[in-house]
Amino acid sequence: MKKTSAKTIGRLSLYRLLLDNLRRDNGITVYSHELAAAANCSAAQVRRDLMSLDYAGSPVHGYRITDLIESIDNFLDHPQGQSVALVGVGNLGRAILSYFRGRRPKLSIVAAFDDDEHKINRVINGTWCYPMADLRKIVKEKNILVGVITVPPNAAQTVADQLIEAGVHGLLNFAPARLKAPPQVYLEDVDMTMSLEKVAYFSRLRAEE
Amino acid sequence: MKKTSAKTIGRLSLYRLLLDNLRRDNGITVYSHELAAAANCSAAQVRRDLMSLDYAGSPVHGYRITDLIESIDNFLDHPQGQSVALVGVGNLGRAILSYFRGRRPKLSIVAAFDDDEHKINRVINGTWCYPMADLRKIVKEKNILVGVITVPPNAAQTVADQLIEAGVHGLLNFAPARLKAPPQVYLEDVDMTMSLEKVAYFSRLRAEE
């Protein structure tokens, strides 16, 4: 695999979302400046990003949408697909199970984990919920490389450590806590409360201006 | 209101989340290095951030947790509270209604909007859902400054424009699309699909290393 920056990967993922949308609206071709406008970057940036792909389309006559999606799929997705585990089946955990369900054929949450006996050993929002005691076994069995953390903040580091110990190399953390992870683990935080509070604060400033 | 950077506001919001947690665990005092460790920044950064507040606690003997929370509340929250609207009551919209429900007394989603006649004119996850046609009226009536966008990507810009036109000055966008907003509107994106795809990609790289 080529070395590509997190920003480029993020934009490729965003282009694919935009292209999926265009395809749904029966679009055939797209120009780099259209992707650029939608992704809030320059057309030159789009063309540079697409050069990471082995896509031979000509930017002069526009990119063919289906071909470009296929090239991004080949680049971003693992050919055999990737399995994800989610830990913490509260409100947010359940929402995230629903949100990601069927969204990407090559990337799916195949196991959920919780400690609550009312939640374990049954299907929740389409995903089987296992007890935490099975985490290590299931992560190994299902070859899970990615863990999504939706537990309360005071449990987040323990869960992260357990996931890493089980063999996970990527963590998507929704808990409002900053986690420690060794360099061989890629960690990304999604902090919705912080985001909303930031927007609320700056909306007042902007309204006063 | 003082001018403070988005990063500082984000960290203050994070400190408060951590402090809420400590208070729940019956903590009394906290040291800047403890907040720093939890927020993944330096203790000096914590002390600088806290100087934005009118908080007189001594860092030498630790900060009193309840006092520090109160100071951050006074800084981040509007004294009369702030009202938020959410547009798009699908899976993600409903999850976000549940997630933010009761989380902050001074920041609450007071109205939801959708176009689906099965969703409107009733309470969904604790929030009344209005038809889109009422957006402008309700935003004005309830003095709403913040809009949360959880519609499909192809509807997101139209919804953003309608919210801005109605008087909103802050947007939290969950739709996988980059939006345009004028400078008097603060815009923040939360892109969960992009985040998960990034983690998946880099988890493979790290696992191969």
Domains, chain A, with CATH or none? 6-76 (1.10.10.10), 82-194 (3.40.50.720)
Which comes out higher in pLDDT, residue B178 or A148? Answer: A148
DSSP state of B176: S
Contacts of A186 (CB under 8 A, 6+ apart): A169, A170, A171, B198, B199, B202, B203, B205, B206
Point out the residues of chain B with pLDDT beneath 70: 1-2, 56-59
Distance CA B93, CA B197 (A): 21
B118: left (phi over 0), alpha (psi -120 to 50) or beta: alpha
| CA nearest to A183 within chain B | B206
Which distant-in-sequence residues (6+ apart) come within 8 Å of A145 by Cβ? A82, A83, A167, A168, A169, A170, B200, B203, B204, B207
Name the phi and psi angles at A111, rounded to 5: -155, 140
> Where is pLDDT greater, at B66 or A102?
B66
Cα–Cα distance, B55 to B49 (Å, whole number)? 11
Q: Which ranges in chain B belong to alpha helices (H)? A: 6-24, 32-39, 43-51, 65-76, 91-100, 135-141, 153-166, 192-208
Nearest one of A158, A198, A154, A159 to A177, comparing CA atoms: A154
Q: Are strands B107-114 and B82-87 parallel, antiparallel or unpaired?
A: parallel
Cα B147 to Cα A23, A39, B71, B100: the distances in Å are 28, 21, 26, 13
Q: How many helices (H) and strands (E) does chain B have?
A: 8, 9
Q: Determine the distance in angstroms separating the CA of B131 from the nearest CA of chain A, rounded to an integer.
A: 23
Question: Measured between alpha carbons, how far is B76 from B114 in angstroms, rounded to an integer?
Answer: 30
Closest CA to B195 of A36, A84, A166: A84
The rounded distance, in Å, linking the Cα atoms of B106 and B88 is 23
What pLDDT, on a 0 to 100 scale, did the predictor assign at position A57? 67
User: B188: which chain A residues are within 8 Å (Cβ-Cβ)?
Assistant: 195, 198-199
Nearest to B204 among A1, A10, A203 (CB): A1
Interface mutation target, options A7, A125, A172, A199, chain B, most CBs of B under 10 Å: A199
Residue B67's pLDDT is what?
Answer: 93
pLDDT at B57: 67
Select from B201, B205, B206 the residue whose CB has the most chain A CBs within 10 Å, as the one to mutate to test that interface. Answer: B201
Share of chain B above pLDDT 70, in %: 97
Interface mutation vs chain A, best among B7, B197, B204, B205, most A CBs within 10 Å? B197
| Residue of chain B whose alpha carbon sits nearest to that of A182 | B206
Q: What ipTM describes this predicted complex?
A: 0.91
Please state, for a pLDDT cut of 90, what percent of chain A lies above it. Answer: 64
Assess whether pLDDT exceeds 70 at residue A189. yes
Answer yes or no: is pLDDT of A56 > 90. no
Distance in angstroms (rounded) separating the CA atoms of residues A113 and A85: 8
What's the pLDDT score for residue B28?
92
pTM of the model: 0.83
Residue A109 pLDDT exceeds 70: yes
Confidence of residue A115 (pLDDT cuts 50, 70, 90): very high
Burial letters B149-164, b for 16+ CB under 10 A, else e:
bbbebebbbebbebbb
Compute the C-alpha angle A32/A38/A41, nearest 5°: 70
| Sign of CA pseudo-dihedral B94, B99, B101, B106 | negative
Higher per-residue confidence, B2 vs A13: A13
**B18 and A177: CB-CB below 8 Å?**
yes
How many Å lie between the alpha carbon of B155 and the closest alpha carbon of chain A?
Answer: 11
CB contact under 8 A, A14 and B176: yes
Contact A39, B153 (CB under 8 A): no
- The pLDDT assigned to B139 comes to 98
pLDDT, averaged across chain A: 91
Q: What is the DSSP string of chain A?
A: -----HHHHHHHHHHHHHHHHHHHTT--EE-HHHHHHHHTS-HHHHHHHHHTS-----STT-EEHHHHHHHHHHHHS-TT-EEEEEE--SHHHHHHHHHHTTT-TTEEEEEEEES-TTTTTEEETTEEEEEGGGHHHHHHHTT--EEEE-S-HHHHHHHHHHHHHHT--EEEE-SSSPPP--TTSEEEE--HHHHHHHHHHHHHHHHH-
B168/A18 CB distance under 8 A: no
In this structure, what DSSP letter does residue B178 have?
Answer: P
Burial bucket for residue A154 (CB in 10 Å: 0-12, 13-18, 19+): middle
The residue among A130, A133, A161, A131 whose CA lies nearest residue A147 is A161
**Rounded CA separation B93/B96 (Å):** 5
Determine which helix (DSSP H) or strand (DSSP E) holds B171, and give its type and residue range.
strand B170-173
- Strand-pair partners of A21: none
- At residue B177, the pLDDT reads 79
CB B203: neighbour CB atoms within 10 A? 25
A105 Cβ partners below 8 Å, 6+ apart? A81
